[in-house]
Amino acid sequence: MSRTFAAVVAHPDDDTFGVAGTVALHADDPDFRFVLIHATSGEAGPIADPALATRETLGTVREEEDRRSWAVLGREPDRHEWLRYPDHGLADVPFDELVDRITEILREERPDVVSTFGPDGITGHPDHIRVGEATAAAFHRLRAEAVDGFERLIRVAIPQSLLDGWNEQLVAAGKEPMDPTQLYQPRGVPDDTIGLRVDTSSVAARVVQALREHHTQAGDIQDMTDDEQLEMLSREHGVVDWPPRGSADPVLHDVFDRLD
């Protein structure tokens, strides 16, 4: 039976951090279909090396970096849509328009599982929060229309215990801990709200290689050792936003786990 997974994110590299391991685990499955939607091309982001891009070319360069990241991972999206809304400007796009654009693609694809950001946007980034809200609205609109698929909505998240562990390591190494009250710093969610925990350790080396294709964003990971990068990318977590999760429900180990 074929299964479709759709990920809806804000910027090039959000996908690498959030779902690349999950996709890599399904890379050899002929019945797996992967749909990827980027709301922006990330043109307002950092430029790690001025030789790589200018402010004018950064969006185009980052789209190409993202395409290469999936090629290096070994599983390219079956469909990849760039909505090309303004980076750092998603909150200014009329919300209904953003929902409509996402709905249109998801209606054609009827994914079994949709993944996007949760209300914390992982880092509090307003674009992340907005694309998560719009994707959830699109998901529930299509469910209400009784379109096939749309069995599960995942909001990517970081368990608080994992964030605490990273911070302990930072402090032990004499570095500043991450501060979740600051914009663009990672936030955790209570561990007991995590409904999806995917062990991506078997493909983490490939995800690290994919992440390194985002050359213009190298500043994000330049302070981390190879082992730290591997460790960070050895698992992916999410909150199961739909269907509502009971406190006794088991933690899922794959986005398609326990679907009929």
120 near Zn ion (CB under 5 A): no
d(CA 68, CA 145): 36
> Does residue 16 sit in helix, strand or coil?
helix
Among the listed ranges 7-15, 28-36, 133-141, 186-194, the one in contact with Zn ion (CB under 5 A) is: 7-15
Pick between residue 24 and residue 156 the one whose CB is nearest to Zn ion.
156
> Please, which contacts does 49-56 make with residues 24 or more away whose CB atoms are closer than 8 Å?
49/215, 49/216, 49/218, 52/215, 52/216, 53/216
Pick between residue 42 and residue 149 the one whose CB is nearest to Zn ion.
42
87 near Zn ion (CB under 5 A): no
Exactly one of 3, 6, 8, 14 binds Zn ion (CB under 5 A); that residue is: 14
Closest CB 14 distance from Zn ion, rounded Å: 4
Size of the site for Zn ion (CB under 5 A): 3
The alpha carbon dihedral of 211, 76, 233, 28 has a sign of negative
Pick between residue 14 and residue 109 the one whose CB is nearest to Zn ion.
14
Among the listed ranges 11-19, 63-71, 183-191, 203-211, the one in contact with Zn ion (CB under 5 A) is: 11-19
Among the listed ranges 3-11, 170-178, 223-231, 252-260, the one in contact with Zn ion (CB under 5 A) is: 3-11
Cβ atoms of 167 and 178 within 8 Å: the answer is yes
Pick between residue 14 and residue 81 the one whose CB is nearest to Zn ion.
14
Among the listed ranges 6-14, 153-161, 202-210, 250-258, the one in contact with Zn ion (CB under 5 A) is: 6-14
Closest CB 167 distance from Zn ion, rounded Å: 21
Could you tell me how many residues make up the chain? 260
Question: Residues with Cβ < 8 Å from 135, sequence gap 6 or more?
Answer: 8, 102, 114, 116, 117
d(CA 36, CA 153): 15
Count the alpha carbons within 13 Å of 26 in the hemisphere toward its beta carbon. 22
Among the listed ranges 8-16, 100-108, 148-156, 245-253, the one in contact with Zn ion (CB under 5 A) is: 8-16
Beginning with the edge strand found earlier in the chain, give each strand of the sheet holding 3-9 in spatial order: 79-85, 32-40, 3-9, 113-117, 152-156, 235-242, 196-199
d(CA 219, CA 234): 20
Closest CB 125 distance from Zn ion, rounded Å: 5
15 near Zn ion (CB under 5 A): no
Exactly one of 11, 75, 152, 214 binds Zn ion (CB under 5 A); that residue is: 11
66 near Zn ion (CB under 5 A): no
d(CA 101, CA 228): 37
Pick between residue 10 and residue 25 the one whose CB is nearest to Zn ion.
10
Pick between residue 112 and residue 127 the one whose CB is nearest to Zn ion.
127
**Residues at the interface with Zn ion (CB under 5 A):** 10-11, 14
